[in-house]
Structure 1
Amino acid sequence: MGIHEDIQQGKLTKATLAQYLGDNPNILNELDSATGYPPLATAVTAGFSSEVEQLLTNGAKADALTRDGETALLLITRPKTFRNRPRIVQLLLDGMSADSVDATTAAHGNNTPLMFAVLNEDHESIRLLAKAGASLTVKNENGLTAKEMADRAADKTIALSLDPKKERAAFARLTSLVVSLLLYIVAWVNKAINGVARRLFELNPELNEAGIDKKINRDGTPETTEFVENVEAFVKGNPTLERFFKGNPSYIQDLAEKATALKADQTTPLGSQDLLPKTIKVTLHQQVIYCDDSSSMKRDGRWAAQATLVNKIAQITTRILPEGDGVALRFINQDVNDSSENLSLEQIGKIMTGMSWKKGGETEIGTCLKSKILDPLVYRKLQAKTLARPLLISVITDGMPSVENKGALVEAIKECGEKLQQAEYPRNSVKFMIGQIGTSEKAAKFLEGVGKDTNIADMVFVTTDQLDEKLSSFKENEGNLDRWLIETLFSPIMQTE
């Protein structure tokens, strides 16, 4: 068995590679007699990223050619699907010269690696290649550039992936754009069904500047069926909106129908003219509720108050969400059975009913924020480039940190902002609303310090309200409770507008 066979079977270890190199120092440049591939190309086409890394570390040339003149980069970007492709593309690009990134052959239609990535709708490989300087203007045998191919792609987000800065900027505008569209739909439906005479721009003056009505309804006022088609066409023409709405026309309709129904609901002020835009903006954030289950929560009815608050937050933040979307729920000490990001109101209720404070539970609020929320819901998505919605994390606690350093919470939030910036996302893509349950003066002083920390002030809102006390004061007035809660949840969003 030779080096190529070992590579193909995933058996090339550090020790075996050292042995091959000891026997033949030039082996990394020799082509396989059957395939015409050097060892690196064999490893690339086998899909073993660890072997690719080993070979590159030991001197394999990232831009070495096969017998037919192909680079390993060209070979891995060509197939429709390929395991570990983004990781291998990154490894190859790190070791390649700039003039090799676009290398191709006539046998491949003069399609560059970037062109193949576009054809395969491989967003991550597209981003990596674009960042490495892959050409957007070189043409294939059909006279098309990578940019032209991206513009023609059925998936309109492909063109955004070619320009990471535009993609990040589009993400930053996402909530505002979706809110404008939903408010426009709500106003149009109200006008069409109820004959409301006032212009929709009275509901949201910004829409007039955006010209969203002209963009959607180019030929005047349409009938209902045509209006829905126009909205769908508008979304399909906007890559950021299409990604948010998941390419699903019914998703848009469900959101619009529920937003319209909320506006007509007289049992809650959430659909009123002043609160509906805030309700929509809060709802369009991925909601994460982070609860304190330390042993001190057994006092003064704190656990029961927290459970009521959690259910109420879930209720108002899922009012307009389509079926299947919901909120995430996490605890400091305990893990929930369903760690989904999209728990329904019913699922939240069942979890809170079956949970209680943990005997001997500590308050490692910063440590667990990182491990249970930021790592899985933010950092992994930043790495995979799959962060599609901004997050609003509601932190509920009754005391100061225990076990961990008192600065751990601030440090965790600070690190989050830094990681977002490093990934070229706005720092406020993740926002925090922090509130206290209970009467601990030490806890109040600690949270006051968190709220005043200038390193995280743009990401954090610490409410001065004692949450359980406020909850109790609205016991006889559900409408005022809804108003207070949506205003509180909106506060960290308002700070960034």
Structure 2
Amino acid sequence: MATIYHAAALGRITDLAALDPYKSADSEFGIDKPDDKGRTALSHAASRGKIDVVKFLISQKANVNAQDNSKRTVLWWASHSDPSVTRQERFVTVEYLLQEHADPNIPASNGSTALSKFIEHREPTVIKLLRHYGASTDHKIQRGSTTVSIEELARATKDPDVIEAVMLKPGQASSRDVVVTEIVNYLFRSIGYMNTAFGGVVRSFFGISGDIRAPLQVNKKGQQDDEDKTPHVSEISGKTTAKQFQAGMTQFIDDTGLGCFFAEDDKFLEDVAMKAVELENNVDEVLNSKKDIQDITKLALYQPVFYCDDSTSMKSGTRARDQVELVRRVARISTLLVPDGCGTGLQFINKRHTLDDNLKAEQVEEIMRSFEPRGNTKIGINLERKILNPLIYDVIDSGKKLERPILISCITDGCASGEPSTEFRDAIVRCVGYLKEKDYPPTGRLAFNQSLTRPPMLTATIAVRFQISQIGNDRGAESFLNQLRDDPLLKDVLFCTTRK
């Protein structure tokens, strides 16, 4: 039998039953019993980014500040982490440890801390998170016969983002609502802006010109004076007017093919521009940097809709709580600049809930916290019935047009049940085909040629984007998402991600 430390590192210790063999085999078993190097099971799980194991062990009273023989804490090991751990896994692990009162200021024998390790990794988002939780820059790290300060370590990277993050005062650096970068990536990759430069040409993964990470591109031909110049988003400052900001947005919309949704004098764009300028001038709002505003402005163009799992299996572990937190964060950021009455949509797989697509972030959180998990996972049938029908089919069939492009974020902890396994996939294919028939602008490449042995070709549309995330570590869900991810017919339409 593998040791508990090895099992924790592999992600196998997630419930009480998993602990029983170790309790039976060791009369002196303790949740914090160290290995020969002084490391606990929690330390091993944290260093491998096994967040479910970390959460379970902490629920069993594991010491979040346990130190090994070299005085390295669990948080230190989470910052060191195995090369196989992704940045997202590392971030989520560190965040949870901090929430559970891990002390970021306990140094190892050589003076290093989690903060110094993340400076070495050059991960400014986590550095900001640590500073937000009070990580000190006063520590000295031993390097041979000399010592190096945290600030010296940061400056040695020559990375302006790292240096800026370190220089922020404790508490000043929010995690950008727990790192807007993570959430922006989550949404942008769903929208499909994956650009690579080749031969001076920006090629969008979805056939959209324009880089979601670049400033809004503007046409400067014919501009004669400063008053008429349209600035890049990255040039927007407190002196920039809403009119200038709106002009930049309009150009971006034209470049990305979204012009069919927004007229140049659209009141929605005017309101977003006004809010963007106000946001940048709001010193009390942590999301007011030029980069934040650039990202959030683009998110505001999409109508976000959350399709949440409330099946019985969501009672397992912290899945329900994790889903609430994820939706709360994304809802806040994606609606930060939208006008009143243009909020986010929320629907559940099972709960009888009338779809309201104009909820404020606070309302979303309140509704999310009131749901009671029950039932199976008819994720495909109810996607069509509860979201696609009211938001797309009913609107267009009544002679109206979609007011904004829609981003549908589906969250689940398991695979489909109570319906054919392909129903979710088929619902998406039907939706995209319907929009194509109704002449909504396409984008992307054709996935297939007509063939007797292959499905008919499918062209993505800018009118709707689908995204699906896994909560928890259910193997059935992982297999379900992998099948969707590997389906070439969905390649330009659906983005799959895992948030364990």
TM-score (norm 2): 0.45
Is the strand fraction higher in 1 or 2?
2
TM-score (norm 1): 0.46
